[in-house]
Structure 1
């Protein structure tokens, strides 16, 4: 997948944060060969979150080795506007920044710059952030990311009460297509995500450490698709609003 689909469907994106970074391309190919739809790239600057991870030079090298895969860059950085051009140049398809990382006056400018750089726009919120703060921006972005752990470290426990945010979004914004969940998602907690109405699933340790990643990815996708069907969420884009650049 090198672009977001224009219909609502389950998409599984392994987070490579906990992969062996010395063999990042090989690990990424292994997960993609197992059926992953996209790759979730965690970018942390040591300021917005206390951890420090990969940046655009690593992503650029990864893109050379994996040319036709959707790269979702999760920008856990204190100045998201600073890295837009670099990430676009590295081959990122989706630039997801945190609403808590900037001022409300600056958000529209960041969205515009991301679109001008020919990337999809994602906005993420931390667990303590009220989901209603997204209301003003929903019609201008492509993906909403609901964090189910505090951003910054892998291996945290899944926060089930965050599912209320997903249910609220699906109820109040039926035109909204892609809702992503990140943090502690595994073969057990995926059921909560599916029932709430999420369709983009980020899973890190559960898939990285799996001995049967292909079966696990397919199982996750089936749960999401079945739940969306049962909820009659047969949504398709009727215009280019959410997929425009």
Structure 2
């Protein structure tokens, strides 16, 4: 089954706990947590303390996406805050293999994210040691952007690498996925979908998750 991972970047921050609780009630699979540092991406979101404060409100997988420079410095903080999976950007880490192994040393799943302009071929050697590859289908930093169509080819390339190495891999897509294009994205090979505004728009979380699943 395709995993639906609502990004709480689009939640109501004044009622963050309520929204996190409602994701489990309304059928989400994971909670996607976008961490931004204002350096790697032109925006700042939140850090480990806020994540820790909502961890006890949900039994869902906490899928942590670190859009930050030198992510290896903060891995332990997010593990202690309750991360189940941590994804770091290929472009933000000069020692990506070391960071992947560091994440896995805590018995936490590890993923690598690629910006739209970064070729999939750069991470081929990492595939056997990864649990997830995240294809950014918008330029990271802001919610509500439109899906970049050529990212479909990148999803297919990741799927081909997973098959080449006989690797069970989550192929996650983040950015601009909505009811209008989610079926196409899944047909390309994605099995984990990050959705922010598509889930939280109009405060109709239950309805929006249902629409995404029906559209698949």
Task: Report the TM-score when normalising by structure 2.
Answer: 0.93
Tell me the residue number matched to 2:60. 69
Aligned to 1:91: 82
> Which of 73, 77, 80 does residue 71 from structure 2 map onto?
80
1:134-192 CA-partner distances (Å, limit 9, x unpaired): 10100001000000000011111111110101112223431342100000111112122
1:191 aligns with 2:183: yes
- How many angstroms apart in 2 are the aligned matches of 1:19 and 1:168? 32
1:76-155 pair list within 5 angstroms: 76-103=67-94, 106-155=95-144
**Counterparts in 2 of 1:167 and 1:210: CA distance versus 1, 3 Å:** farther
Runs of 4+ in 1 over 4 A off after TM superposition: none
- Name stretches of at least 5 consecutive residues in structure 2 with no aligned partner: none
CA contact under 8 A between 1:48 and 1:77: conserved in structure 2?
A: yes
List aligned pairs for 1:15-34, cutoff 5 A. 15-34=7-26
The 1:134/1:222 distance shift into structure 2, 3 A limit, reads farther
Aligned residues: 213
What's the TM-score, normalizing by structure 1?
Answer: 0.83
**C-alpha distance in structure 1 between counterparts of 2:19 and 2:27, whole Å:** 13
2:197 and 2:171 mapped to 1: Cα distance?
21
CA distance in 2, matches of 1:180, 1:121: 12
Uncovered stretches (5+) of structure 1, i.e. residues with no partner: 1-8, 225-245
SS, match of residue 17 in structure 1:
helix
> Partner of 2:205 in structure 1?
213
Q: Which has the higher contact order (CA 8 A, sep 6+)?
A: 1
Match of 1:38 among 24, 30, 33: 30
Q: Deviations over 1:66-95 (max 9, x none)?
A: 2x2210010000011011110000001111
Whether the aligned pair in 1 keeps the contact of 2:127 and 2:161 (CA below 8 Å) is no
